[in-house]
Structure 1
């Protein structure tokens, strides 16, 4: 079995590391938060203090951090992984980033004798924990040869979208366009129902069995009904991701009116102090409504 390292044990990364462990791989883990890697390793695996320490022990390094800035630090910051990785090792980049950044990172690592896989992920924490998430990947055939079994251990669907970096990240931001718009629309619909005095649970039951339903309505409005805004995916994630969507479209002068509106809604929620809450908290921007409470 391959020795694999995973950096970033958040909502998605912890589940992915668990899937690799269940598949029998030797797993090394690293997380910037004190004690997180050690807690994971208590049930199997090895905790590493830095990305460099992890990279020296692994043939494949999987990065599941928040954004390009954090990925840059993982790779090239103090005690970064890139300088410690063995020639021919693979770096699997799972964050949502600007596609052009991903293309440039592939070239930078290639010059160091390393392989790179552009591999953003989707599906949420539950699917990551069960090995049922989706990966949108692009990279050289040699990278797939080295880590194909690892990808299959982490994901039910591994889409190969090109033999160079870029298309994986492009498809991911298109997915995020839809996800962000769907969450914003779901929140708007639920808010209107509440304003009009419709019972929230009844509205949820009807919509989830009608043509207007979406996966995001069904999933995120359940958080609203439970008054549980524990962040599985935070408001600020969609501030970032829809920002990337708009940046990509702006470069080619392509209009995105719905994505622009949804981005403003998440920005409004973040400015109001809800940035670190679950992205369903975008519903809190609507005035004159009484949201379900835990005491109800």
Structure 2
């Protein structure tokens, strides 16, 4: 039996809570073999980002084409793409359809509040990358930025913005409502699928400040579960896959306080379901 292969195209996080490091943990936790193409190196900890070193777009392409010439990739997620040139290069390769369904996490700001991409990169994500995405997973600020509108303030706003983002080209949109958890009293994510309606996923709020890497982890989990073959020719069953991915993230949040990593916003426990009580 061949391995299910998931690819992360993203930046690195030395603290291990976000970026490539988080993605590989999430892939492994869900039984997918992880590959990675680096787009940037960050100087980062649980307390913030102090520097970003961008990988040249041409070398990002070299990494992608060399890998895809050899390895059959069943699903891909993109994370931090720091410049418009990198975004366009990645979209050019992934738009060929050789790396499975593409889950786009439009990473713009770290959990600490530090900006990770420039304005030109945001425009390129919106105009060039979203049209090749099978699923895009913005949080509240990211959705507003791509739509050039005010951030959502209610579940109705989340629904409206998820549907509006479909007009930018992706096959499905998951707007993550974590920023509204206090106002809504629960974690509410809204999924809009082209031709498939709008679906709402609800989870209890986990009382923890250790939320570093939640967005990376969820998008990686979605790519991992999307590696499972669907009916020939059928699109991924995103409503079901969203629940599977959110199960992993919920378990990681519930066990996050057990890790004691760093002195800032610590990471979620990506491997909680595998480690169990062995701490």
User: So what's the TM-score if we normalise by structure 1?
Assistant: 0.33
Structure index of larger Rg: 1
Which structure is higher in strand share? Answer: 2
TM-score (norm 2): 0.35
